[in-house]
Amino acid sequence: NAGVTQTPKFQVLKTGQSMTLQCAQDMNHNSMYWYRQDPGMGLRLIYYSASEGTTDKGEVPNGYNVSRLNKREFSLRLESAAPSQTSVYFCASSETGNDQPQHFGDGTRLSIL
């Protein structure tokens, strides 16, 4: 059972380049999320999608866009990458409800030079 799959696992970009991070889940979850993880700061929510067809901003949305392509897939796009966006990015999914844990992918390590 794959769970949440993220591609790519590693990527190096130059400042100003664009990039799309892909995420797919096979658990039939309604909700999906994108987080970034920086040293000493834990995970911070970038965008989320409560259900297919909806997306909303999280805590740190600036510089990012998202697309909920269908129930399975939720992509994160950096239109013009900046060094401040160097981070590890996690996609997660969950059933609807505050008590439902989020299931995470393995993360994408993104470096922007």
Q: Which residues bind another protein (CB under 8 A)?
A: 31, 33, 40-45, 48, 50, 56, 58-59, 88, 90, 92, 96-99, 101-104, 106-107
Distance from chain centroid for Cα 58 = 11
Given a contact cutoff of 8 angstroms between Cβ atoms, the answer to whether 34 and 74 are in contact is yes
Least gap, CB of 3 to another protein (angstroms) = 10
Least gap, CB of 80 to another protein (angstroms) = 26
Least gap, CB of 43 to another protein (angstroms) = 4
- Beta carbons within 8 Å of 51's beta carbon, 6+ residues apart: 30, 31, 96
Cβ distance to another protein smaller for residue 38 or 79: 38
Cβ distance to another protein smaller for residue 32 or 112: 32
What is d(CA 88, CA 7) in angstroms, rounded to the nearest whole number? 12
Distance from chain centroid for Cα 89 = 6
Cβ distance to another protein smaller for residue 45 or 69: 45
Least gap, CB of 69 to another protein (angstroms) = 19
Using alpha carbons only, what angle is made at residue 56 by residues 28 and 37, rounded to the nearest 5 degrees?
A: 80
